[in-house]
Amino acid sequence: MSNEHERQEQRDHAHDRRKFLAGAMAAVPLVAGMQGVAQAQTATPAPAAGRGRPPQRRLGPLEVSPIGLGCMAMAPGFYNPAPERAAMVRLIRDAHRMGVTFFDTAEVYGPFVSEEIVGEALQPIRNQVVLASKFGFDYNGSSVTGRNSRPAHIKARVEGMLKRLRTDRIDLLYLHRMDPIVPIADIAGAVGDLISQGKVRAFGVSEVSPETLRGAHAVTPVAAVQSEYSMLERLPEVAMLDTCAELGVGFVPWGPTMRGLLADGFNAYSRFAAQDRRASVPFLAPEALEANMKIVALARDWAQRKDATPVQIALAWLLAQRDFIVPIPGTTKWPHLRENLGATDVRFTAGELAELRTALTALPVVGNRPADKARENE
């Protein structure tokens, strides 16, 4: 490639980046003032950064957009003050207009509230999207009383999930957390029955060990594993990603933006309010932040270098690790959604990935999960 060609590509890229920032900045007052769907439609360009539809990815039998949307914090009690429900319905539909076809929720988010929002939002576009939800808990009214994945309980819970999700089938049904007293073969068998009945299309498991994944997959083929994975929390690299590759299972990183730590507003002195879920995350604790902000600084350096944002670097880095990885950043804000989807425009060369890996490996991380947890991360 000629030097002039390279310079032109860099100028084009810088222009796109300025366009993204201008779009994102312009979107802030627009979103704040949005009252109706008609305005939301006017405000929504498609796709994220004007470069056409990015290549889709596979999670077992399911084809999905390379970046999904995590809908957990659309329910109250997570990272933000409770967002307005109608605004979340609009955000989900906007995400679809911007190319997202993969939406993640769970019965326990709220509980039930996130599923209700996702169900309402996706009802008119149900056949165009892949809808994922999760079981694994027991409830007394709206209080979680503990884990429960007994087969009869799973089947009963799925009936309620289908109603809240306003659908006749769940595309990807995950075991959310392993039930220590129910064998994985029984859980996988129950989901297999639901697949035979047409109520579920594919089986997923969340935060399990590679051994448990193998046990599940031997009974009912697993389409995807969902676990926390980011530049900071790299436990899945110990054994899980290789196991997924071997079995042909997709991998869905949750927490891909380091739970929002990559946002501009954070520094080593940031503290989370007691009601913010992040107040209890070890890698965000006051004694961990000073060390861990070095990873944020690294992402910020690469953002400058690649003419992107730190969140986009983090998401693009995940996408570059394996072609079966589909991150699901969670957001309740339209400009963040647009920024996150723009990550598919950020590409790394093999040399850049190696350089970034060397830099990451050299940085000590405080409060992440130790490597031996890969065997018992349940």
Ligand X SMILES: NC(=O)c1ccc[n+]([C@@H]2O[C@H](COP(=O)([O-])OP(=O)(O)OC[C@H]3O[C@@H](n4cnc5c(N)ncnc54)[C@H](OP(=O)(O)O)[C@@H]3O)[C@@H](O)[C@H]2O)c1
Q: 79, 109, 174, 229: which is the annotated catalytic residue?
A: 109
Q: What is the DSSP letter of 206?
A: E
Report the site for ligand X in 104-163 (rule: CB under 6 A).
Answer: 104
Q: Is 72 in the site for ligand X (CB under 6 A)?
A: yes
Q: Give the span between the Cα atoms of 140 and 123, in whole angstroms.
A: 28
Q: Indicate the Cα dihedral angle 181, 184, 185, 189, nearest 10°.
A: 100
Given the complex with ligand X, which of 110 and 255 has the nearer CB atom? Answer: 255
Q: Is 285 in the site for ligand X (CB under 6 A)?
A: no
The nearest distance, CB 259 to ligand X, in angstroms, is: 4
Q: Is 332 in the site for ligand X (CB under 6 A)?
A: yes
Options 24, 247, 263, 366; binder of ligand X; rule CB under 6 A: 263
309, β-bridge pairs: none
Alpha-carbon Rg for the chain in angstroms = 20
Given the complex with ligand X, which of 80 and 321 has the nearer CB atom? Answer: 80
Q: Is 366 in the site for ligand X (CB under 6 A)?
A: no
Q: Is 339 in the site for ligand X (CB under 6 A)?
A: yes
Residue 269 designated active-site: no
Q: What angle do CA 134, 244, 317 make, to 5 degrees?
A: 90
Options 155, 333, 365, 366; binder of ligand X; rule CB under 6 A: 333
Pair 136, 150: CB distance under 8 Å: no
Q: Give the span between the Cα atoms of 35 and 37, in whole angstroms.
A: 7
Stretch that binds ligand X, among 14-22, 30-38, 295-303, 326-334 (CB under 6 A): 326-334
Element (H, E) at 9: helix 3-32
Q: Is 212 in the site for ligand X (CB under 6 A)?
A: no
The nearest distance, CB 95 to ligand X, in angstroms, is: 12
- DSSP strand pairing (62-64 vs 130-135): unpaired
- For 63, other C-beta atoms within 10 Å of its C-beta total 11
Which parts of this chain interact with ligand X (CB under 6 A)? 70-73, 79-80, 104, 206-207, 226, 254-260, 263, 311, 328-333, 336, 339-340
| Catalytic center residues | 109
